[in-house]
Chains A and B, each alone.
Chain A
Amino acid sequence: MIEFISATKCIECNQCVTVCPTNVFERVDDGIPVIARQSDCQTCFMCELYCPVDAIYVAPSPDGLTGVTEEELTNQGLLGGYREKVGWGKGRTSVASHDFHYKLSARSIF
């Protein structure tokens, strides 16, 4: 479930408000969006992907909050880790074009 928006990182671009499929966020005039409908979060990680500055953290469990802090996550290198792995964002190469896809398909059992 969505845990937080980092007030220090957020640049108020409202991308998360735009892309969240279940409309969890609420736009705020001249401010960072608020998590207005947290229980509607479906834990799909799309807001994390579309946030240009890695200001959002979605915890894996769809039920309940963990209370994890930004500092802990930064120390563990977890903030923005998904975008990096997917190769999402300016200057990155999309994981879609990785040659492991066809290498795996030559060997997979599913």
Chain B
Amino acid sequence: MSEVAQVGSLNLTTDVLVIGGGPAGTWAALTAAAKGVNVVLADKGYCGSSGATAPSGTGVWYVKPDEKLREEAKASRFLMGGQLAEHRWMDRVLDRTYENMNKLGVFGYPFPVDEQGNPHRRGLQGPEYMKLMRRLIKKAGVRILDHSPALELLADEHGVAGAAGVHKQSGKTWTVQAGSVVIATGGCAFLSKALGCNVLTGDGYLFAAEAGASLSGMEFSNAYAICPTFSSVTKTAFYSYASFYHEDGSIVEGASSKKGRSVLARHLLEGRQMFAKLDGAAEDLRPLLRVAQTNFFLPFDRLGIDPFTQAFPVTLRFEGTVRGTGGIHITNESCGTAVPGLYAAGDAATRELICGGFTGGGSHNAAWAMSSGSFAGEGAAAYTQSLGQYAARRSPVGCSSSTLIRQEMRPGAAAKTEEYISAVQDEVKPYQLNLFRTEQGLTSSLNRLDGLWKEQRNREIQRSPEGVKAREAEAMTATARWMYHSALARTETRGMHKREDYQVTDNSQHHRLISGGLDKIWVKTEAVNKERVLL
């Protein structure tokens, strides 16, 4: 624990604090505010442009409440996800997503309208969607702190009671005391520059673990996206239309977007450049594709390449847990955690409940973000209300595992942070370590990662923009360790988790892997479908 709270340059007291202002965080803020409580939302970047959704656009798991359609929707990913999804959660998320998407229409999102005059609500353009969400939460009275990353949670013996952080543009510190906190900080893409993902460094996982919460499904954390070598745009859906080629123009056998990414990875590992061409898209389909994902075509247009007729070099860019499914362990229907007052939503929380160990080409993630955000917002508001008078009488302390200080860090600290970051990246990015997992590879990686954690944990970290980077390095290191400890424990292949030394699915391992701990990591199993406490 670090120093006592309430010494920031900006000190606020509120009912609910939301950390992270992507879809999950803004829905949490909106639903909490609708329950009549005061809400503060702090984002590391700018709420409206930050996170994985904002620069992009997402297909959404929007399915009409028709029994047959819903059954098909639930079945579509169930097997691919290793049968780890739970029907009850899928039902709840389908219901809430349907409701929220319809609300977005009412709130003014410009859905396209078909010939019969029906709005088409199966996708959202990121910039438009997040601009609207910002407007809605402001209108609801939510106080937004932009460029204000949290550095740690605050807690007392009864549970979580706020957070402290820094405003990056002024260097000033902030402290928000709150009756409850929703973590909506997104996943962890390890600063790989996947589209919009460099703000997503696993901070929320670390905060939650420091407060005593656990994680779930961290073995499902090795998403790699097909991406031109010259681009950050990791939109992969359109590669369903792609053929893959060798340098000499011959076809790469077995390579495909859905089932053949490993083939691409194996060739890349051998040092062979892979090429793609979207030649499977019929001529009259191409203008439609160009409109559906404007940003997909942006890099090509800028370089004068026609991706439908010209082959272009591709690689697999690492997206970690952003398009994986692991995250903070959810212990009740309000997206609460094992720690009182702490809630988790969106990519920061586990998505296994609706997609098991695989998420593929999206839709589920966006649906989960808006639904879990709503569940968490409502849950957090109700929790704070239940505290009554007591909420005002708390004096929580910081939870950071490293000591957070006000003074300058030692000379050379920034360079050290850079070193830690690239050392972690060297463990999680390589296909031979993370995509094709083996006991030997994981164990040797963990030895190095444990060493990295020890070194960082003993550092003093300044409450400053520089310190934010140091905390990001710590969060990435911790995340990599939960990932690889879980991957080591799952001695089978299931969902996106592939073990070279255990290539088949083992029915006796049809369970979840819960993990946690900081200096010493633990992993245990939990049954799927276990009845959970209803709030």
Contact = CB atoms under 8 A, between A and B. Distances in A.
Interface of A: 17-23, 27, 40, 42-46, 49-50, 59-63, 78, 81-82, 85-86, 88, 94-105, 107, 109-110
Nearest to B285: A107
Contacts of A85: 294, 297-298
Contacts of B125: 86, 94-96
Contact of B49 (A50, A96, A100, A107): A50
A107 B129 CA distance: 24
Contacts of A21: 44-46, 49-51, 54, 196, 198-199
Interface string B226-259: 0010111100011011000000000000000100
Given A42-B197, A86-B294, A96-B111, A102 B169 contact: no
Contact of A95 (B230, B257, B291): B291
Interface of B: 44-46, 48-51, 54-55, 109-114, 120, 122-125, 127-129, 146-147, 168-169, 193, 195-199, 228, 230-233, 237-238, 240-241, 257, 285, 287-289, 291-292, 294-295, 297-299, 301-303, 361, 465
Given A97-B111, A109-B240, 16 more contacts: A18-B46, A21-B196, A22-B199, A43-B193, A46-B55, A60-B231, A60-B303, A63-B193, A85-B298, A86-B127, A94-B128, A96-B111, A96-B129, A100-B291, A107-B288, A110-B257
A61 B193 CA distance: 10
18 contacts: A21-B45, A21-B54, A21-B196, A23-B147, A42-B195, A45-B298, A59-B302, A60-B232, A60-B299, A61-B299, A86-B127, A86-B294, A95-B291, A96-B109, A99-B113, A101-B120, A110-B237, A110-B361
A108 to B, nearest CB: 8
Nearest to B304: A76
Contact of A46 (B44, B124, B127, B240): B127
Contacts of A97: 110-113
Nearest to A105: B122
B212 to A, nearest CB: 30
Contacts of B228: 60
Contact of B231 (A22, A61, A101): A61
Contact of A100 (B129, B169, B257, B288): B288
A60 B298 contact: yes
Contacts, number: 144
A98 B112 CA distance: 6
The 10 closest A-B pairs by CB, nearest first: A21-B45, A60-B299, A102-B120, A42-B198, A21-B50, A43-B232, A97-B110, A100-B291, A44-B55, A62-B193
Task: Give the secondary structure class of B's interface.
Answer: loop
B232 A103 contact: no
A40 B147 CA distance: 14
B301 A81 contact: yes
B235 to A, nearest CB: 11
Contacts of B197: 42
A95 to B, nearest CB: 6
A101 B111 CA distance: 9
Contact of A98 (B124, B231, B291, B302): B291
Contacts of B302: 59-60, 78, 81
Contact of B55 (A27, A45, A105): A45
Contacts of B124: 96
A19 B285 contact: no
Contacts of A107: 285, 288
Contact of B45 (A22, A61, A103): A22
B291 A19 contact: no
B232 to A, nearest CB: 4
A49 B302 CA distance: 15
A42 B196 contact: yes
Which of B49, B124, B238 has the largest number of chain A CB atoms within 10 A? B49
A62 B232 CA distance: 6
Contacts of A46: 49, 54-55, 127
A101 B50 contact: no
Given A23-B147, A60-B230, A105 B238 contact: no
A61 B51 CA distance: 19
B287 A100 contact: yes
Nearest to A101: B112
